[in-house]
Structure 1
Amino acid sequence: MDDAMAGRRAPGAPRGAVAESSGPVESRTDHADDDVEATAAVDAEDPLVDPADGPEEPGADHDAPPAEDAPTTAVPPVEGGADTGSGSRIDGPTTFLPGGTRRGGTGSRSPRRGERDGGGRRPAAPWGPRAPASGPIAVGRDGAIVPGTVIVDRYRLVAEVGRDRSADAVLWKARDTTLERDVAITLLVGGWQADVRAAQALSRATRSAHFSHRHAARVLDVVQPGSSRLPAGVLGAAVAEWTPGRDLAELVAGGPLSPSAALRVVEPLAQAVADAHRAGLVLGIDHPQRVRVTARANARLAFPMPRGDAEVDDDVRGLGATLYLLLTGRWPSTDGTTPAGLKAAARTASGAPVPIRDLRPGLPVGLAALVDRTLDATGGIRTAAAVHGLVRQLREGAEDDGVLLPLTEDGVQFEDEPGTVWHPDDDETPEQHDAATRRKLRIGVTLLVVAVLAIVAFVAFQAVSLVGGGPSSGPPLVIPTSAAPAPASGQAAAPAAPAVPAAPTGPVQLASIAVYDPSGDPDNPGRVGRAADNDPSSSWSTSDYDQQFPALKPGIGLMTTFRAPSKVSQVVVRSPSPGTTIEIRSAAAPDVPLAQTQVVGTGTVSGDTTTIPVQLAAPTSNLLVWITALGQSDDQYQSQIAEVTVIGGS
């Protein structure tokens, strides 16, 4: 294939030289032209097109036709590379108009002494926000990038939401005018000194397009340098799914978060980073405006294009910096510069941020040690998997208060609902939330009325039995079967009385509730108390599983222990996870093997409240709510239990 078509210099040609081309060439990676009704499925299967594999098909969406009055050719190379006249150097295929006028530029010049790119990788700088190689972020002199600007005739810029000066990147919310959906677009801008770094960053964005994680927005399209329809001063762009909500800088604008809330934000991000590192990718969680938190308190990397020179250590320290910011409201910079107008944390004599407990003395020692060791560049925590494991342990060891700073989307305040899982359309309207609250209230009132009626009926039955029995009434005489006299000759034996289910009484008082997992890896044990706190708005949930039980484990359950041995007539389970299959099992002790428990009732969640009758002859002190099948949401399996109520029997 022609080198010019591939966006490369011919062997031996000077830097900036391009071979003749019969027309403009755009090197792009595009997932965004799929049918709107099958976008997700097609995007997941369709491999990205590498610009080196060949030119685009004729008539492709972004092909710019050459001028009809004259062929489009490239002018002879200028020593040191071509320049657009706006400060944007172009090393790839450049579009020239007839007569030698370059599209998007006003002329050409040779670079001044010292302007040439020396090539090679620049030395790694100390971690922290870095000064841009090309000076303050700006666009070319030909015009500013403003809302309404259209990128490659498709993406209309709506609002600028952030700037990452260490990467020469501007973060925008945009509108895909083809598929009529919002997208997140990262524009790489700057002078010609930045084009090598831009190419590296775009290459990384292309490689990460196949990375799929619910807490990292999926890359939909990558616009490579040389596109004839990029605004002057823009070196390339990456387009990703749009994530509603607020960025981390906005999240802490009203003050630091509680430790439990900060851990709740960071845990899914740490999981996404660890998964990306296992796939050989750098995710780029090192800037507070690249991460957004939805109105339902779910964190997500919203602008997934790391710097070209970023390394896995930058991701790990970025997780520590995120925790530091959420807990103190200050960014732990190593050079005094801060992103997004945040205040910088004080620094030690060596330039490192001061220990976090100097700013917030009341933090738990374990959490403070995690933050400080993650930021330690001389031998602290060096893997995202270790960060994720420690964050998860800290969350399990402390009860989550479920509180996060209130977030708003388009001026409407949403109430935080902890324990939910992020989905692209997960943000509910206030009307939907109010309806759910009313529904839970009706269910609670109904259960209370049923319990009161059961108690009244039991008291009335005892009173009638006492009055009708007379003075000689007393407990019935029970004769063992072996001692009972044989019936007289010719007298028929009385038929055995049929078994009568136990009549419901009141709720059984619980002494404790714990996650029961024979595999030894319990799900969210620190939040199990939510399943027995008489609050339907809080819930315990299983972990997210890629496969249904029993593929990874036979099941998982909640072991309830009573204050005193009790008969049980039924178990009421409140759960928002339809399809969850539950077995009620009696157990002689809370830690007995599953094989030594006995099934006494079964049920499947089909509404907000599921009542499971229990056939249990003798009183018991332990009852296991055993989940054998999880509820399904999209391609994940998970179940939530808001409340477990054990109803006694007479």
Structure 2
Amino acid sequence: MTQVGEGHETAADADGPVMTFGAPTAGEILAERYQLEEHVNDDSAGRQVWRGIDVILRRPVAVVLRYPGGDSATEMLQAAVDASRVIHPNLVGVYDAIDEGTRSYVVREWVDGVSLRELVAQEGPLDPGRATAIAHAIADALAAVHATGMVHGNIHPGTTLIGDDGRVVLADARADSADSTEADIRRVGGLLYFALTAHWPQAEVGRSALTDANRDASGNPAAPRQIRAGVPAYLDDLTMDLLDKRVQAPGADALAAELARLDAADEDYDDVGPLRFTQGAATAEPARNNSKIIIGVAALAVIALIGLVFGIRAITASSNPKTTSTTQANAGDNQSGGGTEAPAPKPEKIKLTADMVRIVDPPKGDRSDAPEAKNVVDGDPDTAWETHRFNTAKFGNLKTGMGVLINLGTPRNLADVRVETSSPGVGMEIRTGASDPGDSSAGDDKVSTTFKKLGEADAESKTDGTNRIFNVFDASTKYQYVLVWITELPRADDGDRYQVSVNEISVYGY
């Protein structure tokens, strides 16, 4: 059970690494009150986390010990004191904060349950309704924290605890001068993303033990719907808006209200309406003052009149042959090179037809599933190419892999390949070659040995969801033959041997 998370993994404490020595033992009583029962773990800052008992009130507690205490423990102790002033059902209660010089410790509520990090590791990505409920609880907690002028600073899957009774609580505030209420809100978007995809999108976390998000060439995380099927578009947009620093972050109370709407919608997001962050959800709308409205209308009329005058002057100036200035709109026609730079081309989905794909099944596969190749490009996710069943995930001694060969008909500049499968846990990579040696067993053998893998770390991975995006193409190279190559199979749905279905393959290019 994880009782303390790892939000600030790049800088455990401002004064450097924590040195642990003179470790306590089970049965020891701290401050003549808190008896240590079991060493649970060490958090990312090197602090020991114990399950204990308050021998006076006879209740379980969590004890977080730091070595040494003194000045170097000031931040931890101050954060605990601040957190103890906020009482909320979605915040872990802080009971005590003690500095003994050689060590210091914080005593807080013990939560029987698991962290969000552990829950997703055990069960995989959560369904949209459950992910929304967890984010709603954390946003509610933040609204209470921010209302006091405080910042939490440590929202993370390890500090988000889900009790056995269903209660969701946020633990271990650890704010420093670099934290802000906006950063807290962005982290709620990170929690949503993690709950929906099992990936952590916050690049600034640094050496996180969590699986990083799939990212494009610019480092931006792929949207949850690109990683996993079944994420509602509305929830997908909300998550990405919270992560996008170009989109103004809402207040915690506005976010909590928005998530409450979704939580109450019982996963039916079709009729929830537009995002309400910019519609004054954070504060009540003030009463209207008619005199102010009249003044405002008059001001608008004056602005309109001024605009009309300058508009007439601009039209007159444009008809004057001596005018040498150009507008931004026509600057691109200036042969001297003074125009604006053309926007980068947007990748488009390449239309694939049944005659452009085939199954590659070496060596000496029975090829009985060849007619199913068309199913991966028919636009219907309910149809698929289903592999045969194998006794081992990596095909044993039968083969090194199998896949789908795509002939684009002509060399193209490509952006990415997107693959949707029936199950997570599929080992895949993208390969490319100069030609298709033929739709035959001999041709399949040659493809498997001559086609080369593209990319490095991103080129081969085990999918955590049912959707995978491969951004492995060189912008200066054109490709005609692309092979989606399966190197490892997940267990079949009934648990008998190993098998997967490839539902859709999409190729995007320029």
TM range (shorter): 0.3 to 0.5
TM-score when normalising by structure 1: 0.36
Greater Rg over alpha carbons, structure: 1
**Which has a greater percent of helix?**
2
TM-score when normalising by structure 2: 0.46
